[in-house]
Amino acid sequence: MRRDRNRNLFGVALLGLLFAGAGLALSGAGHDRADLTFTNGTEPQSLDPAVVSGVPEGRILRGLFEGLTTPDPRTLEPRPGMAESWEVSEDGRTYTFHIRKGMSWSDGSPFTSADFLWSWKRFLKPETAAKYAQLLWYVENGKAYFEGRLKDFRKVGIKAPDPYTFVVRLERPAAFFLALTSFYPLFPVHRASVEAHPRSWHRPGRLVCNGPFVLAERRIRDRIRLLRNERYWDREHVRLESIDILPVEDSGTALNLYMTGMVDWITDVPNHVVRDLMSRPDFNPVLYFGTYFYRINLKNKDPVKRRFLGDRRVRLALSLAMDRAEICERVTRSGQKPAFGIVPPGVPGYEPARLPGPDPARARALMREALSELGMDSPPTLTILYNTSEAHKDIAEVLQSQWRKVLGLNVRLENQEWGTYLDSQKTLSYDLCRAAWIGDYLDPNTFLDLWMAGSGNNNTGYEDPAFDALVEKANATLDRKRRMALLHEAEAKVLHDLPILPIYTYATRYMVRPWVKGFHPNALNLHPLKDLWIDEELRRRMRAR
Amino acid sequence: MEGRGPEELERLLEEARKVRGNSLWKDAMRRFRRHGAARFALRFLLALSFLCLFTPLLPFAPPARVRLSEQFQPPKAVFVRHGWSRGDYPGASGLTGRMLDLRERIFGDLEFGPWMGTDSKGRCLMSRILWGGRVSLMVGLVATLVSLIVGVVYGALSGFLGGFWDDLMMRIVDVLYAVPFIFVVIFLITVIRENQEVLEATFGLTRMGVFFLVIGLVYWLTMARVVRGQVLSLKNREFIEAARVLGASTPRILFRHLVPNVVSVVLVYLTLTIPRVMLFEAFLSFLGLGVEAPDVSWGMLAADGLGAVNPVRVYWWFVLFPSLALGATLLALNFVGDGLRDALDPRLRER
Amino acid sequence: MPHLLGFLAKRLFWMAATLWVVFTVSFFLMRSIPGGPYSNERNLPPEIERKFMEKFGLDKPLAEQYFEHLSRTLRGDLGPSFKLADYGVNRVLAEGLPKSAALGSLALVFALVLGLVAGLVSAVRRGGWLDHGLMVLATVGIALPNFVIAAVLILIFVITWPVLPAAGWGGARNLLLPAFCLGAPFAAYIARLTRTGMLEVLGQDYIRTARAKGLSEARVLLVHALKGGLLPVVSFLGPAVAGILTGSLVIEKIFFIPGIGTHFVQSALNRDYTLAMGCVLLYTALVYLMNLLVDVCYTVLDPRVRLD
């Protein structure tokens, strides 16, 4: 009988342990609701503006920090931020920023131009290993300092002659430099706290910032809570008291949260429901500054495929045989537009270059011509490479079927998980490969300098000195109209050579409740937290219904 | 007694053994046939395998043909039309190819359906389920066999040897459990991608072959543990002691006395493994090893249904039919397993 | 007692050895696959990638990295995470594990209660409608992918009849649905294993003896038979508990639970070497401890099994 009792005790103790554990883990998880709750796609890699490179990170960092300028949510033009005004020199190489007086960090310490000087120096330091370091390579001697060739920072074109003046001298004119100053990697960080806690200064309670909000709480893959920064220079215009940011990765889960009223804004919706959401007033896709395209490997390791894809007529035939409209209407279905060029529409003053529309007859003729000239009986079987995802598979399957129908081309699909896919793309181990590019700033250059020889994101084997010269000439041109014409010429050139097949222009896929005000649709899908506010009256009324 | 020599005794024993052996198997067959549910389930499985095997002969739409004008159609009762084409089966060769040629001669370009509706790209779901069954049943069968053979032998040995060997063998299992299979899988894909020609030419090892192997090799671990646990509790029983005292050799004790006694647990575990294997196949396909479009499998179809049930609109047929196919197969497997166990386990005879 | 201590000491030694082997195998496996933690949709310019590698010591010879990583791990520091750059791996796991464990415990309770009751009932009512019904249910539990179960439950209990929250981490109410979905396949397994084990035991002599002694049927079943019938369940539970406590990628995604299940898969896909290694070691240790517990349980349940 004693053994029996022992055994029972053993079982009870085990169960008790389980429940105690559950209770402990749950304690302290309760929450009151924030003014605004939104889903952010994923857990941010870091809250250190210098080292990150993603859109979800940007959404949070724009709430915590502020750069020299900030983008206007309606027009995306730079408007005064930490700098209340600026001048550009005649030669377009020197930018002088006038920092606002009397501002302070969230811990009360004064904010001066020395903060920018120190932050940008840190950003360029090799030890920081900033992912966007190339942004400051436009600055005089910036690249040399980053690479460690230059040790003396005083020779870099970044100066703070007095506490309220900040001067940047560029290597050569770069018309888009002002837009870069509102980009999050160039946000200032607080020297004292970074130096005191080099590895943990970005934790709640330690993070000192200069933006509209401060970090109140952060739990990994659970939530980030922001509270209004009472020391922010423009606090009268910040109307949200608190914000909860949820790193929800699954768009289906985000939709469930949205539908049950637990969040006010979701950044993505699942593919299956897009068709049914189109009729809802709170789902309004607008085109934004991104292109979905296929890369073509021009340096294929297989000699047959290399000759085949190396022929421009073949590449043009592939493009002419694609029915992009069908993909947008039947597959992606949420406001995307067929793309016939690489630069998406929406840049003021820029006339995009365009490929010819679908033409199956001409596609077949071109393919026949190319094949007979190459001495091939039939086209080789090509493989479309994509990273494992339902959406990419859908598009690849449709293109597979279109090319088979029009050109009699056999295409295999190959999906690889993310890391392998990136590696295959980088080492040019593919035939055709799914890709996408989202512009960092509203300028054609962000889509065109990709195709220059030696660009880290070319990945097609395309090299053409004439194209490189066009882009470089354009960026050294100060006259905006003339510059845009040159960029147009560059785009036309790359579309003629066709190392890529543009497929569609992205559209936003967010849903936002009508009581979230200050939310302006724009081409970069930027919605600064500072400008948002809640119409409580409307929220109450709609909730009651 | 005294008049008979040892040879005589040996001969009699041998005879007795033969008779008993035969009747044991006959008994088992008889008992299995009496098990109504198991008999029905076995017939169902055979019929399903037949159906899947001869799917290319049936007048359904090509499983991979995309028809974007027919997206998201709910199931329709009767529907016959023209439009089938042999060209929609790239890569179908060998027996499958010949069956398709035959089908073309019998039915021409007629096709029936879509009785189970269409998916997000307008493909006939029914056709996809039947073609998917070919892959899934194959995966279930081969991978489970691999796991069965490796797992039972390994587990029985480990449990029986005990002591240091048991420790060592179980620690190896622990290590294999812990090494993240994703890395193993990615590693294998890379190696295979780089040496594809060599592998196919020298070993006849295709992606599919490796895929079966990987699944089997992931699943034998639990089987080994289950068998070991069972053997551990059996090996101190009287009949094993008796065999040992009588001087039976180790392999003999292992395979004549121990393994038959773990059959019932193994069978049940097996019927539990097959569904997991089929679902695991879907997961691996997502990581890029295994089934590639345009091929399909049940696991992939089930995974395609992710998101089909949502607060905005429910595409019930996306989820229902693949789950039904998977569920019915597994249920049948369970009944067969039950029937087999009852038939093979003499201890249950009197009940 | 000294016997038990000796047994534990031996097993702990084996555990350390296993951990080392797992560490070594995983390390070299991880490094031999393509890609790296710096891989990104936007490729870093080569100069920046080089700085990144220098910063994290990825440019050193592999053997040197191995010993560095090993010695750091021995000191109890699993290193910084590459993709969650603000945290060390220790912190990431320490924040996630209790959540996964809480969810897992609840799922385990679901699984045990439902599974044992169903298995017991169907063994007793063998061949009857109740038996068939329960076993069909158990099969469905195994056959349905758990995201389908989750989607249907969400549709019922969150959308149509809003009694439970859709997702998130907060109160106990948030845990009910995910725990059920996580536990369902385990419940089905346990039900089937219990039924088999019970049937096995019910035919044996000591049960007949117990009945002959005139003990009540309930006592025979619950005390004498269940004990023997539980053996296959217990040996299934070892790895299952480790699996259930470390969570599930799918369930964590659907219900937005900040556990560690996601890290197991995601860190491998992201090539977050240090985090992946942390997950591997944690999982190994858990499996090991659970199996140790199982082996101890065996001796408690079945006196004929000896520890050694």
Cβ-contact A395, A434 below 8 angstroms = yes
Question: Nearest residue of A to residue B187 by CA position?
Answer: A420
Nearest by CB: A398 against B68, B90, B286: B68
Q: Which stretch of B17-31, B38-52, B83-97, C8-22 has the lowest confidence by average pLDDT?
A: B17-31
- Asked whether the beta carbons of residue C99 and residue A43 sit closer than 8 angstroms, the reply is no
- Asked whether the beta carbons of residue B175 and residue C306 sit closer than 8 angstroms, the reply is no
- Cα–Cα distance measured from residue A295 to residue C1, given in angstroms and rounded to the nearest whole number: 68
Would you state the pLDDT for residue A390? 77
Kind and range of the H or E run holding A353:
none
Would you state the pLDDT for residue A140? 94
What residues of chain C lie within 8 A of the CB of A259, using their CB?
159, 166
Report, in this order, helix, strand and coil percent for chain B, each rounded to 5.
75, 5, 25
Question: Nearest residue of B to residue A269 by CA position?
Answer: B307
- CB of B303 within 8 Å of a chain C CB? The answer is yes
The average pLDDT across B18-46 equals 76
What residues of chain A lie within 8 A of the CB of C256, using their CB?
246, 248, 250, 253, 257
- Asked whether the beta carbons of residue A330 and residue B71 sit closer than 8 angstroms, the reply is yes
Nearest by CB: B323 against C17, C34, C144: C144
- CB of B162 within 8 Å of a chain C CB? The answer is yes
- Asked whether the beta carbons of residue C145 and residue B174 sit closer than 8 angstroms, the reply is no
Question: Nearest residue of C to residue A221 by CA position?
Answer: C258
The average pLDDT across B295-319 equals 81
| Residue span of the structural domain in which B270 resides | 36-56+128-348
Question: Nearest residue of A to residue C81 by CA position?
Answer: A45
- Cα–Cα distance measured from residue A98 to residue A83, given in angstroms and rounded to the nearest whole number: 5
- Asked whether the beta carbons of residue B180 and residue C200 sit closer than 8 angstroms, the reply is no
Would you state the pLDDT for residue A432? 96
> Which pairs from B93-102 meet CB under 8 Å and 24+ separation?
B96/B56, B99/B54, B99/B56, B99/B57, B100/B56, B102/B57
For residue A393 the two structure tokens come to 């598979």
- Comparing C-alpha atoms, which of A443, A448, A447 is closest to residue A480? A443
- CB of A260 within 8 Å of a chain C CB? The answer is yes
The answer to whether residue B24 scores a pLDDT higher than 70 is no
What residues of chain C lie within 8 A of the CB of B308, using their CB?
151
Interaxial angle between packed helices C146-154 and C173-202, expressed in degrees from 0 to 180 and rounded to the nearest 10: 130
The answer to whether residue B351 scores a pLDDT higher than 60 is no
Identity at C245, one-letter amino acid code:
L
- pTM (two decimals): 0.86
Cβ-contact A211, A189 below 8 angstroms = no
- Cα–Cα distance measured from residue C34 to residue B192, given in angstroms and rounded to the nearest whole number: 13
Interface probe for B, chosen from C148, C159, C234, C249 (most Cβ of B below 10 Å), is C148
Cβ-contact A467, A353 below 8 angstroms = no
What residues of chain A lie within 8 A of the CB of B294, using their CB?
397, 400, 413
Would you state the pLDDT for residue A193? 95
The average pLDDT across B165-178 equals 83
Interface probe for A, chosen from C97, C256, C299 (most Cβ of A below 10 Å), is C256
Question: Cβ contacts of residue C248 below 8 Å, gap of 6+?
Answer: C146, C182, C261
- Asked whether the beta carbons of residue C34 and residue A419 sit closer than 8 angstroms, the reply is yes
Would you state the pLDDT for residue A167? 97
- Asked whether the beta carbons of residue A276 and residue B66 sit closer than 8 angstroms, the reply is no
CATH for the stretch C93-301: 1.10.3720.10
Residue with tokens 């005649």: A90
Q: pLDDT higher for B323 or A328?
A: A328
- Asked whether the beta carbons of residue A413 and residue B292 sit closer than 8 angstroms, the reply is yes
Rounded percentage of chain B residues whose pLDDT exceeds 90: 6
Would you state the pLDDT for residue A26? 58
- Asked whether the beta carbons of residue A272 and residue B120 sit closer than 8 angstroms, the reply is yes
The structural domain count of chain B equals 1
The average pLDDT across B65-70 equals 80
What residues of chain A lie within 8 A of the CB of C182, using their CB?
none
Read off the pLDDT band of B349 (50, 70, 90).
Answer: very low
The average pLDDT across B68-95 equals 79
Read off the pLDDT band of B131 (50, 70, 90).
Answer: very high
Would you state the pLDDT for residue C304? 59
- List of chains touching B (3+ CB pairs within 8 A): A, C
Nearest by CB: B305 against C136, C148, C291: C148
Would you state the pLDDT for residue B6? 64
Other Cβ atoms within 10 Å of A474 Cβ, number? 22
- Residue A433: DSSP 8-state: E
- CB of A130 within 8 Å of a chain C CB? The answer is yes
Would you state the pLDDT for residue B350? 36
What residues of chain C lie within 8 A of the CB of B171, using their CB?
14, 17-18
Would you state the pLDDT for residue B206? 67
Q: pLDDT higher for C79 or B216?
A: C79
- Cα–Cα distance measured from residue B173 to residue B224, given in angstroms and rounded to the nearest whole number: 8
Domains and CATH numbers, chain A: 31-247+514-544 (3.40.190.10), 287-507 (3.10.105.10)
Listed as ranges, residues in chain C with pLDDT below 50 are 308
The average pLDDT across B236-257 equals 78
What residues of chain C lie within 8 A of the CB of B350, using their CB?
203
Is the bond into B294 cis (omega within 30 degrees of 0)?
A: yes
Question: Nearest residue of C to residue B190 by CA position?
Answer: C33
Q: What is the CATH number of the domain that holds B217?
A: 1.10.3720.10
- Cα–Cα distance measured from residue A292 to residue B48, given in angstroms and rounded to the nearest whole number: 43
Distance from CA of C203 to the nearest CA of B (A): 6
- CB of A394 within 8 Å of a chain B CB? The answer is yes
A518 sits in the region (left: phi over 0; alpha: psi -120 to 50; else beta) called left
Listed as ranges, residues in chain A with pLDDT below 50 are 1-3
- CB of A1 within 8 Å of a chain C CB? The answer is no
Would you state the pLDDT for residue A512? 96
Residue B255 maps to a domain? yes
Domain locations along chain C: 2-74, 93-301
The answer to whether residue B188 scores a pLDDT higher than 80 is no
Give the burial class of C230: count Cβ atoms within 10 A of its Cβ; 0-12 exposed, 13-18 middle, 19 or more buried.
Answer: buried
Can you spell out the DSSP letters for B98-134?
Answer: HHHHHHHHHHTTEEE--TT-B-TTS-BHHHHHHHHHH
- CB of A244 within 8 Å of a chain C CB? The answer is no
Interface probe for C, chosen from B179, B264, B273 (most Cβ of C below 10 Å), is B179
Would you state the pLDDT for residue A164? 96
